[in-house]
């Protein structure tokens, strides 16, 4: 049986308004978590607005899952308070917090049919039979799994199981939906589809607050309204997704959120002009870039994304550097070039290349627009 995507039309068919508007804000107030003397989450203060998707991303051991588990009630904060809406949930057990959760391995109950899995939370909360039947039907329709109600989880594919897990979490009308690496167990193609479908789901359920923990930057960039980048148990940076990507506040953010070329430059002139570009020197090249309050003489990094570098210049791509071509990797849709620019490896991702590609070892000019750059402070801690 083919599975329809959980599209907006599915949702409208099942009266999605019943699910809408259920979200609450989440507030971390100096929440820290420690195991003995080992602090895994340093005091964290963060807000997730109602209906917002906040993606927490970071490497393993950065504290992102710990923060999610503290919201769920599986980890007791060593200090600080967690509020969901107007309720301080810090001391509440998980079953009284009004949440939904989806985890990496789906965690479906293997001995229950799909419909019983979805009904589990409602039964646990003492909902009446008629309501349970209605909600199960609605939730399965929302994720495009109506035809699979009588199946057991073992009879479903990974993607289908994850849809059921989402339906189960949505059925209880959670105040906040916690997604803990929900797509990590899926293969690349299904993962891409599921990311798009979760995005559609949130468009159709705009009131739903989602805390999305992942180590996959693509998932975060696609889904999140805001991103918190975690490192060593601390928030390294936090802000609107596009803003963090375009103007990363530190080296760690620039490198973790998408690929970034970070060129060491010396500022020669602070922000000037209507666009507030500063001027900085890289070797002999004088470059313009989006400033962050740098002063002349400051040593900093010029961040430029690989896809913003071009082998040909025009009136917009006014910055020019030269480098020695080291590697060329053709990947179908994209061609990746690696150049050496004053000892710094610079990556270029190009969709279109000149008909005759330069030879390896040849000196190649690279062009980019000042508006695509950002000056990023050189900060060892990030």
Partner 1 sequence: MADAAVLPAPIAKKVPGRFWIVPPAALLALLFFYPLVLIVQQAFMDDSGMANVGEFVRVLHARFFLNALINTITISVAATAGCLIVGLVLGLILAFVPFPGSGVIARLIDTFIALPTFLVTLAFTFLYGSAGMLNAGLMEAFSLQAPPVNFLYSTWGVVLAEVTVYSPFVLRPLLAAFSLVDRGQIEAASVLGARPFRIVRQVILPAAVPALIAGGSLCLLLTVNEFGIVLFIGAKGVITLPLLIYSKAIQESAYQVACIIAVINIALSLGLFGLYRFAAGRLGA
CA distance 334 to 329: 9
Min dist. Cβ of residue 94 to partner 1 (A): 4
- Which H or E run contains 265? strand 261-272
Residue choice 72, 221, 263, 364 for contact with partner 1 (CB under 8 A): 72
CA distance 236 to 347: 24
Can residue 339 be called a binding residue for partner 1 (CB under 8 A)? Answer: no
Residue choice 8, 74, 157, 360 for contact with partner 1 (CB under 8 A): 74
User: Segment contacting partner 1 (CB under 8 A): 87-95, 206-214, 311-319, 323-331?
Assistant: 87-95
Residue 57 near residue 229 (C-beta atoms within 8 A): yes
Please compute, for residue 255, the number of CA atoms within 13 A of its CA located in the half-sphere on the CB side.
16
CA distance 224 to 335: 28
- Which H or E run contains 129? helix 129-142
CA distance 166 to 143: 8
Can residue 68 be called a binding residue for partner 1 (CB under 8 A)? Answer: no
Q: In terms of Cα–Cα distance, which of 298, 211, 291, 299 is closest to 249?
A: 291
User: Segment contacting partner 1 (CB under 8 A): 51-59, 99-107, 265-273, 312-320?
Assistant: 99-107
CB closer to partner 1, 73 vs 249? 73
Please compute, for residue 132, the number of CA atoms within 13 A of its CA located in the half-sphere on the CB side.
15
Exposure b/e, 206-237, CB count within 10 A at least 16 = b? ebbbbbbbbbebebbbbbbbbbbbbbbbbbbb
User: Segment contacting partner 1 (CB under 8 A): 89-97, 190-198, 247-255, 338-346?
Assistant: 89-97
CB closer to partner 1, 5 vs 185? 185
Please compute, for residue 270, the number of CA atoms within 13 A of its CA located in the half-sphere on the CB side.
5
CB closer to partner 1, 136 vs 244? 136
Can residue 120 be called a binding residue for partner 1 (CB under 8 A)? Answer: yes
Min dist. Cβ of residue 165 to partner 1 (A): 8
Count of residues that bind partner 1 according to CB under 8 A = 30
Residue choice 9, 45, 125, 312 for contact with partner 1 (CB under 8 A): 125
Enumerate residues 214-273 that contact partner 1 by CB under 8 A. none
CB closer to partner 1, 111 vs 381? 111
Can residue 107 be called a binding residue for partner 1 (CB under 8 A)? Answer: yes
Residue choice 31, 40, 57, 99 for contact with partner 1 (CB under 8 A): 99
CA distance 378 to 264: 8
Enumerate residues 155-184 that contact partner 1 by CB under 8 A. 165, 168-169, 172, 178
User: Segment contacting partner 1 (CB under 8 A): 108-116, 143-151, 262-270, 341-349?
Assistant: 108-116
Exposure b/e, 88-100, CB count within 10 A at least 16 = b? ebeeeeeeebbbb
Residue choice 18, 76, 111, 360 for contact with partner 1 (CB under 8 A): 111
Site residues, partner 1 (CB under 8 A):
72-74, 93-101, 103-111, 120-121, 124-125, 165, 168-169, 172, 178
């Amino acid at each position: 049986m083919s599975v329809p995507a959980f599209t907006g039309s599915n949702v409208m068919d099942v009266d999605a308004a019943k699910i809408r508007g259920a979200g609450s804000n989440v507030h971390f107030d100096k929440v820290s978590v420690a195991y003995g003397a080992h602090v895994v989450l340093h005091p964290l203060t963060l807000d997730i607005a109602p209906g917002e998707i906040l993606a927490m991303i970071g490497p393993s051991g950065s504290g992102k899952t710990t923060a999610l588990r503290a919201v769920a009630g599986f980890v007791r904060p060593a200090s600080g308070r967690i509020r969901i809406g107007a309720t301080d949930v810090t001391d509440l057990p998980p079953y009284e917090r009004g949440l939904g959760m989806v985890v990496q391995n789906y965690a479906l109950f293997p001995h229950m049919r799909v419909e019983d899995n979805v009904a589990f939370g409602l039964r646990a909360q003492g909902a009446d039979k008629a309501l349970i039947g209605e909600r199960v039907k609605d939730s399965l329709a929302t994720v495009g799994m109506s035809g699979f109600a009588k199946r057991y989880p073992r009879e479903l594919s990974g993607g289908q199981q994850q849809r059921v897990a989402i339906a189960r979490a949505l059925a209880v009308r959670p105040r906040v939906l916690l997604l803990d690496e929900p797509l990590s167990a899926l293969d690349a193609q299904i993962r891409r589809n599921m990311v798009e479908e979760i995005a559609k789901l949130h468009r159709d359920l705009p009131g739903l607050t989602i805390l999305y923990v992942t180590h996959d930057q693509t998932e975060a960039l696609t889904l999140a309204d805001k991103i918190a980048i975690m490192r060593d148990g601390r928030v390294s940076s936090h802000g609107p997704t596009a803003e963090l990507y375009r103007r990363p506040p530190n080296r760690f953010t620039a490198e973790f959120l998408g690929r970034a070329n970070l060129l060491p430059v010396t500022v020669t002139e602070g922000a000037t002009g209507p666009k507030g570009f500063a001027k900085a020197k890289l070797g002999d090249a004088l470059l313009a870039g989006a400033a962050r309050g740098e002063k002349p003489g400051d040593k900093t990094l010029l961040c430029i994304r690989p896809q913003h570098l071009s082998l040909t210049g025009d009136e917009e791509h006014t910055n020019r550097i030269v480098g020695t071509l080291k590697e060329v990797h053709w990947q179908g849709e994209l061609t990746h070039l690696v150049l050496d620019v004053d000892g710094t490896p610079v990556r270029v991702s190009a969709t279109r290349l000149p008909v005759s590609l330069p030879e390896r070892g040849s000196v190649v000019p690279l062009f980019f627009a000042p508006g695509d750059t950002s000056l990023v402070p050189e900060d060892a801690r990030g």
